[in-house]
Amino acid sequence: MVQEWVIEQLTSTQSTSLVLAAVFVYSVLLAVALPFPAEFVFLAVFSLGLPRRTALAVVMVVAASGNAFGSLFAQRLGYGVSHAAPVTRLFQRVPGYARFRRRSSVAFVRKYRYVGLTAALSIPFLPVTATLYAFSVLEDDPWRFAATVFVATLIRLSVFLALVYGGIYVLDDPRIRRLAAT
């Protein structure tokens, strides 16, 4: 009886750890290479075996940590490539590049810096990767960059949850159900 309980506890702890590790790795890959929405991490909530609010909070913190960790790689790679001499020379030869650069996301990044990064990363279903690389072009402070990504990911996932729970609340309203039935 005790042996079965111990095996059950070890198994559930191990599976929880594996699920959280998968969430972390997925979030790192989102920051570095994958153009998928970060909101898929909430699927892990169902397999954690924790109370729902606890599971949501844990998944959000693990996902934000993974995004922040991955952003360190994305920032280093994006900043390094954008400031490499061959790349700079190549883009200077492209007609209209200077005008495009002033009007595009680079101008947005220069103007709004970390507030802009936080706002851009807080939009649900927007791929994280492109946003991180766009902002990494000008930012050379990796720790501040990672901290901003961590906070923005928490905001993004909170906004998503608010939209989901708000939608459920509205759809579950008896007045809405009566309207839909007519």
Residue 125 belongs to domain spanning:
2-181
Of the pLDDT bands very low, low, confident and very high (cuts 50, 70, 90), residue 170 is confident
Buried b (16+ CB within 10 A) or exposed e, 29-49: ebbbebeeebbebbebbeebe
168 or 154: which carries more pLDDT confidence?
154
Cα 79 from chain centre: 19
What's phi and psi for 157, nearest 5 deg?
Answer: -70, -35
- Rounded distance between C-alpha atoms, residue 34 and residue 12, angstroms: 29
Number of domains in the chain: 1
Cα-trace Rg, the chain = 21
pLDDT 10s digits, 42-69: 888 888 888 888 889 999 999 999 999 9
Three-state DSSP state, 164: helix
- pTM of the entire predicted model: 0.72
Q: Which residue has the tokens 């807080």?
A: 122
In the predicted structure, residue 10 carries a pLDDT above the cut 50:
no
DSSP H helical segments within the chain, as ranges? 2-32, 52-82, 85-93, 97-103, 105-121, 128-136, 142-172, 174-181
pLDDT 10s digits, 108-163: 667 777 888 888 888 888 888 777 877 777 667 888 889 999 999 999 999 999 99
- Rounded distance between C-alpha atoms, residue 149 and residue 139, angstroms: 13
Task: List Cα–Cα distances, 120 to 8, 132, 140, 147, 160, in angstroms.
Answer: 43, 9, 18, 15, 14
